[in-house]
Structure 1
Amino acid sequence: MTWLNLPLSALRRRVMVLILAVIIVGGLIATILHSLTPQTHPISLIIPPLAAVIALGLLIDLICNPNRLNLIIQATLIWGGFINIFPEYFFVIQAWIQPGKQLVEILPPITPGLFLLNTAMIVFLRPRSLIRFAVLLWGVMAVPILSYLIAHPGELQTPRGLELLLTLGPAMGVNLALIIFYVRLQAAVDHLQNEGMRLQKISEMDLLTQVWNRRAGERILGELIEQKQLGLGIILCDIDHFKSVNDTYGHLVGDQVLQMFAQWCRQHVRPQDMVVRWGGEEFVVIGCTDEPAEMASLAARLCQGIAQQSVPEVGKITASFGVACHQPEETLSALFERADMALYQAKQQGRNRVVVKV
């Protein structure tokens, strides 16, 4: 499975693994380079190996405890902020209080860590928090250095000084603008997804009875048949003498009967079952089981429960039920053919009963 096809939780976990691996490798490389450089500052000798060790510990924790992902993300962001901010402030303060020190010479590279933190925040923080934290990070890291450089024009005019000015000024400004654009774009995408889900639900819902319509039922049944590891049983329901209800009391009363029948079915089925209006006065109950006895028991409860109800103006109504469970390699049409045969037998035997077709 490619990264693009992964669920969001699995994708975030993989990205976190990659980020921690990069920190480990980067810390090891920096440690080796600093150990080979004469007169390296103690901070440069401590921070990189410490960052690599902590990242390794977080990576092992993530691999062993995937459910701790959010906690590991928070720890990584906090630690990442510390190893970038602490050296920067240390060297800025040192340059301020020791006139012989020049910030452009003693300040270690900080921009890679800054952009890595920004990227990590884009991936892991919620859009509403992202802008606030990005602005805070920018201010915390940019203000001390830019203030120092403005106060020391000689250092500002050096290549390193100009690089810091452009990186922490215009470049970070563009980066922040892109983050704001991303947040707005993400909000638009979320709105479209929610609207798409709402429209799909509307398109797959029977407006009269507020249960799934046939289009949704065929989709659900097709998906269940493809997932061969799951069992599948159906109950085909038909309201007895429904045509005479329409002829005697009118279609408005007939609609009330359909609505109440659907409501009774929803009340009596199990949470994992689905009620579908298949067409007219015919309904289908979909169950994730291939045990005929289990589906027959459910159909019997529906049959008895509905027979005990009463509709205003009409009085008692009953329904007939045909039960069939999906067999290996059976098509959807063949499954419905067996359920329809069972329903026909229930009608022939006097209605208000359940027939199972094995």
Structure 2
Amino acid sequence: MSQPGSDPADPLAWDHTARTQRRMFGQLAWVGTLACLGTLAFQWPSPTPRDLIALPLLTALLLGLLLCVRRRWIGLIPAARGALLGLTVYFLVGLWPWPGSGGGYLSLLSESTYWFPVLYAGAYLLFAPREALQWSAVTYLLALAICLYRLFWGPEARSVDLAASVMQFQIVGLIMILMQATFGAQRGQLLAARQAARQDPLTGLANRRAGEERLAELAHAGRPFILVVFDLDHFKAVNDTHGHAVGDRVLQMTARLSRELLPPGGVATRWGGEEFLLILPPLEPGALRTLLAALRTRLAQERVDGVRGVTASFGVAVSMPGEAPERVVARADAAMYAAKAHGRDGVQHAEPSPAGQVGAGLDA
């Protein structure tokens, strides 16, 4: 499931978008399930042969996909496509002139057409505008083919009432697709603007505002995290000696390495100037040491326009239960300055003292 403006390379934006889409998929799956069961109950004890078979299958499909998504057995993209495909097939089949419906052929067309705007809107809610347009166009053309068959070759061929109904159905469907395409493009622009407001333009990392939003989300959910604040050593000398353009490329290199080494669920932000902040999920001490050692090694090995051997001072703080994010940032920041005071190019771990003051422990 892909939304305009969402970038899988940006864990912050992607995590927020994925959670929103999972919630929306769950809501749609339950609404579809209740609609299927409600239709069967309304028709009981004499449901149409088509619905007696199709609706239980559709219910099983929706609930099965929802279970698979929640258990992470399949991704959101194939689940959404499967659900939309099942619903589309059901309503397209409903357009066919099935005999023995009890309501007549024309009423079958009218009942099915109610749901096609929902299918078009659902495609634009679930997918990016280009893919949504493809889904909607294929659905529209298939519905048009069935309607043309009914008009010219079906049991109600050349019915004036049916022709009027089909004409309205097709015109409304076309207008709905065009409206959704317009709204989808506008939504894509809004999402792109929102992402730009939360992204550092030089490095492509999440900016400070986005990092603060992420920390607030974690604190609100009561989820533990690890903060790593690091500042490039002697960066002013790089700018003074090689120029600001080279300094910018050093920052971009640092951002690239930070993104490449992030564990799943981690977020890298440019906190300001040459200072970066990593928001990490809980890690074992050995895994954290390995991550920081790899980042320090890669920084020292990279060459950027004659600049090589870049070092940084790191401050690490582990969030405490109920601790405000600002406090965790302050502890990590103090630990980073302690690393600078110990000669730079090192890692310092912050520890809250019993009196609430910030202490720091050196990690050689």
Q: TM-score, normalised by structure 1?
A: 0.73
Residues in 2 aligned to 1:211 and 1:148: alpha-carbon distance in whole angstroms: 62
Give runs of aligned pairs for residues 34-49 of structure 1, distance below 5 A: 48-49=47-48
1:10 maps to 2:26: yes
Matched, 1:224 2:231: no
1:240 corresponds in structure 2 to 233
Corresponding residue number in structure 2 for 1:80: 94
Match of 2:261 among 259, 268, 274: 268
* Percent of paired sites with the same residue: 28
Distance in 1 (CA, whole Å) between partners of 2:62 and 2:192 is 37
User: Can you give the 5+ residue segments of structure 1 that lack an aligned partner in the other structure?
Assistant: 32-47, 89-106, 150-164
Contact 2:33 2:59 in 1 (8 A): no
Deviations 1:31-89 (A, max 9, x none): 4xxxxxxxxxxxxxxxx45245324632663476245745643663465345x33459x
In the other structure, the counterpart of 2:146 is 137
Is 2:246–2:304's contact at 8 Å kept on the other side of the alignment? Answer: no
Give the Cα separation in 2 of the matches to 1:53 and 1:139.
27
Structure 2 distance, partners of 1:52, 1:72, is 14
Per-residue deviation, residues 13-40 of structure 1 (Å, max 9, x unmatched): 23432442344234336x4xxxxxxxxx
Give yes or no for the alignment of 1:326 onto 2:326: no
Could you say which structure has the larger radius of gyration? 1
1:28–1:52 CA contact under 8 A, matched in 2: no
Indicate yes or no: 2:362 matched with 1:346. Answer: no
**In structure 2, C-alpha distance between the alignment counterparts of 1:55 and 1:218, rounded to whole Å:** 49
Q: Distance in 2 between matches of 1:259 and 1:172?
A: 58
Q: Can you give the 5+ residue segments of structure 2 that lack an aligned partner in the other structure?
A: 1-19, 67-81, 121-134, 352-364
- Worse-superposed segment, 241-250 or 278-287: 241-250
What is the match of residue 116 of structure 2?
121
Tell me, in whole angstroms, the C-alpha distance in 2 between the residues paired with 1:60 and 1:5. 20
Alignment of 1:260-299 (within 5 A): 260-289=253-282, 294-299=287-292
The alignment covers a number of residue pairs equal to 302
**Partners in 1 of 2:320 and 2:251 — Cα distance?**
31
CA distance in structure 2 between the aligned counterparts of 1:245 and 1:64, rounded to whole angstroms: 58
Cα deviation 1:209-239 (Å, max 9, x = unaligned): 22222122122222222222x3311110101
1:141 and 1:22 map into 2 onto residues whose CA distance is: 28
1:303 aligns with 2:334: no
Alpha-carbon distance in structure 2 between the residues aligned to 1:312 and 1:201: 30
Distance 1:242 1:18 in 2: 61
> Which whole-Å deviations, capped at 9, do the CAs of 1:132-179 have from their partners, x for residues lacking one?
123223223333466465xxxxxxxxxxxxxxx33x233432232111
Higher fraction of helix: 1
Measured at CA, do residues 317 and 268 of structure 1 come closer, stay the same or move farther in structure 2, by a change above 3 Å?
A: same
Residues 277, 284 of structure 1: 8 Å contact kept? yes
Residue in 1 that maps onto 2:107: 112
Q: Which has the higher contact order (CA 8 A, sep 6+)?
A: 2
Is contact 2:151–2:158 with CA below 8 Å preserved after alignment? no
Residues 326 and 293 of structure 1: CA distance in aligned 2, closer, same or farther (over 3 Å): farther
Q: Identify which range, 186-195 or 331-340, moves more after superposition.
A: 186-195
Q: Describe the superposition over 1:183-214 as per-residue Cα deviations: whole angstroms up to 9, x where unpaired.
A: 01111122122222222222222222222221
Structural RMSD (CA): 3.1
Taking a change above 3 Å as real, the CA distance of residues 183 and 13 of structure 1, as seen in their structure-2 partners, is same
- Note closer, same or farther for the CA distance 1:292–1:116 as it changes in structure 2 (3 Å cut): farther
Contact 1:322 1:357 in 2 (8 A): yes
Q: Is the 8 A contact 2:313 2:339 kept in 1?
A: yes
- One-letter amino acid of the structure 1 residue matched with residue 106 of structure 2: T
Quick one: which amino acid aligns to residue 217 of structure 1?
Answer: G
In the superposition, the TM-score normalised over structure 2's length comes to 0.72
Can you list the C-alpha shifts for 1:234-280, whole angstroms capped at 9, x where unaligned? 11010111122223333223223222222232333334322211111
User: How has the CA–CA distance of structure 1 residues 12 and 256 changed in structure 2, closer, same or farther, with 3 Å as cutoff?
Assistant: closer
Deviations 1:278-306 (A, max 9, x none): 11111111112265664344223322332
